Amino acid sequence: MTNPKDIEALSFEDALQALEKIVGQLESGTVPLEESIAIYERGAALKAHCEGKLKAARLKIDKIVIAQDGSIDKQASEAE
């Protein structure tokens, strides 16, 4: 059920929405054990994907520099 290429293609928002759906399914307690394990694995992969996207965004923000004249300059980021 976990397809890394499928997850890599997701935007942060889509991955978060899929993760929220999985959490809801697991919290409901109505999913059979084997399916719960499979969707939990996918949820872990989605969580890692979201964390990676957030880290990349954080690195981009950290590279924004405000000059003495008040202008904003964006330095190239290693995450790009």
pLDDT in tens, 35-64: 999 999 999 999 999 999 999 998 888 777
Given a cut of 70, whether residue 21 has pLDDT beyond it is yes
80 part of a folded domain: no
What six digits make up the tokens of 11? 């935007």
Q: Which residues are bridge partners to 66 per DSSP? A: 72
Helices marked H in 1-80 — which ranges?
A: 4-8, 12-28, 33-62
Sign of the four-CA dihedral 18, 23, 28, 33? positive
For residue 29, the enclosing domain spans: 4-74
Amino acid present at 30: T
Structurally, the chain folds into a number of domains equal to 1
pTM for this predicted structure: 0.74
79 part of a folded domain: no
Rounded (10°) CA dihedral 50, 21, 33, 3: -50
Output 8 or 75, whichever has higher pLDDT.
8
